[in-house]
Amino acid sequence: MRALLLSLLLLVAGPAQATEIIGGLSHNRVQLTLNFAGSEILIFGAIRRDAPRHDAEPPFDIIVTIEGPPQPVVVWRKARRLGIWVNVESVQMASVPSFYAVATTAPLRDILDPEQDAYHRISPLHAIRSDQAIGDVADREAFTQALIRLRAEAGQLQTLERWVYLDRETLFRVSARLPANLTEGAYTVRMYLVRGGGVVHQYRNAIFVRKEGLERWLHTLAYDQPLGYGLLALAIALLAGWGASALFRFARG
pTM: 0.74
The mean pLDDT value for 107-127 works out to: 92
| Mean pLDDT, all residues of the chain | 80
* Least confident span in 82-86, 97-101, 104-108: 82-86
Asked if 45 contacts 8 with a C-beta cutoff of 8 angstroms, the reply is yes
| DSSP per-residue codes, 220-250 | HHHHH-HHHHHHHHHHHHHHHHHHHHHHHHH
Q: Provide the sign of the torsion angle of the four alpha carbons 15, 16, 21, 22, taken in this order.
A: negative
The mean pLDDT value for 221-235 works out to: 64
CA distance 186 to 69: 6
- HSE on the CB side for 9, CA within 13 Å? 7
Q: Residue 249 contacts by C-beta under 8 Å, 6 or more apart in sequence?
A: none
Render pLDDT for 41-77 as a digit per residue (tens, 0 to 9): 899 999 987 766 666 678 899 999 999 999 888 888 7
Predicted pLDDT of residue 16? 45
Number of neighbouring beta carbons within 10 Å of residue 203:
16
pLDDT at position 8 over 60: no
Asked if 157 contacts 151 with a C-beta cutoff of 8 angstroms, the reply is yes
Render pLDDT for 164-214 as a digit per residue (tens, 0 to 9): 999 988 899 999 888 888 888 899 999 999 999 999 999 999 999 887 655
